[in-house]
Amino acid sequence: MGILIIKELGKEPRELPLTRSPVIIGRDPQGDVVLEDLGVSRNHARILREGDSFLLEDLGSRNGTVLNRRKLPKNGNSPLRAGDVVQVGRSLIRLVLKISRKITTGLRRAVEGASSMLEAPPGEVREREKPLCLFRLEKLEASILILEKEGVTTRRCLESDRVRIGRNPGSDIVLQDPSVSEDHAEIVFNREGFHLVDRGSDQGTYLDGVTVRIARLAHRGFIRLGKVKILFILSPGGQEASFGLRDHLVSLYPDKSQGIQDAFRECRE
């Protein structure tokens, strides 16, 4: 008998014996493996049993099904073997077969360790243990340069497919400027790319000088939230963003030149 060890972000691992076929994975409460993750489709994937073998099949999911770090074609399938790891959204699922409770416990801990990178404090995450998110599966890295009052410039890497920005302390990126709303905006990634979404802010969300409710984000997109100015940076995974951006920012804000140069120096270090 096969067993699935399921690890959702922020939850303890759980087990599901494969006593039926197919096993439906998704957000649908009627499914067999229900995942509370907006990156997961209602009916995302399924596992079929064929004799003593298993088959993983994508069900036309919005964000894709990943097997051992390789994305399946849409509606595609692949044999599923003992020890294989499936990623749907930000959840990890490992298949184990006919083994002792001791080994099952060890594999459960391995799954938990593999996904601990999603929860570790930033200072404890090594370069090769960056959080798993969909845009990193596309070999992309995204960050923003924030220019606040008094010339203070900071760089923040995006560590999730949905990054909330505002004055609310619970936001992923907290901006202290009073012109920014509690829940001002968010940056969201899906199969169509990055998008900037206004969350009903008081002073509006602007992209390249135009007020927006939702708009596609491109490299060097210029964002304004209240009085806070932000530059969106998109670069291939494992590479730093072009430092030619430094000159671009300095030309826009010559009076903030020193703060901008200091921010880029920190990026380089």
- Pair of tokens at residue 169: 């302390």
- Pair of tokens at residue 22: 């197919």
The two domains 2-97 and 140-266 share their CATH topology (first three levels equal): yes
Q: At what angle do helices 244-252 and 257-268 cross, to 10 degrees?
A: 160
Task: Name the residue among 37, 2, 35 with its Cα closest to residue 20.
Answer: 2
Q: Is 169's pLDDT higher than 80? A: yes
Mean pLDDT, to the nearest integer, of 197-217? Answer: 89
pLDDT at 140: 83
Between CA 154 and CA 146 the distance in angstroms is 5
Higher pLDDT, 73 or 265: 73
Structural contact between residues 144 and 155, judged by C-beta atoms closer than 8 angstroms: yes
Tally helices (H) and strands (E) across the chain.
4, 22
Q: Identify the band that residue 25 occupies on the pLDDT scale cut at 50, 70 and 90.
A: very high
Q: Helix, strand, coil proportions of the chain in percent (round to 5)?
A: 20, 40, 40
Q: Is 113's pLDDT higher than 80? A: no
Task: State pLDDT tens for residues 56-90.
Answer: 999 999 999 999 888 999 999 999 887 788 999 88
pLDDT at 60: 93
Q: Is 27's pLDDT higher than 60? A: yes
Between CA 35 and CA 9 the distance in angstroms is 10
* Average model confidence (pLDDT) across the chain: 78
Lowest-confidence pick of 44-53, 92-101, 111-120, 194-203: 111-120
Q: Is 158's pLDDT higher than 80? A: yes
Q: Any idea which architecture 140-266 has in CATH?
A: Sandwich (2.60)
pLDDT at 47: 95
pLDDT at 70: 87
Task: State pLDDT tens for residues 185-202.
Answer: 999 887 678 889 998 899
Task: State pLDDT tens for residues 142-153.
Answer: 999 998 666 678
Query: Domain-by-domain residue ranges, the chain?
Result: 2-97, 140-266
- In this structure, whether the domain defined by 2-97 belongs to CATH 2.60.200.20 is answered with yes
Higher pLDDT, 55 or 37: 55
Q: Is 38's pLDDT higher than 50? A: yes
Q: Identify the band that residue 215 occupies on the pLDDT scale cut at 50, 70 and 90.
A: confident
* Straight-line distance from the first to the last Cα atom of the chain, in angstroms, rounded to the nearest whole number: 51
Q: Identify the band that residue 137 occupies on the pLDDT scale cut at 50, 70 and 90.
A: low
What residues contact 152, with CB distance under 8 A and at least 6 apart? Answer: 259
Q: Is 263's pLDDT higher than 80? A: no
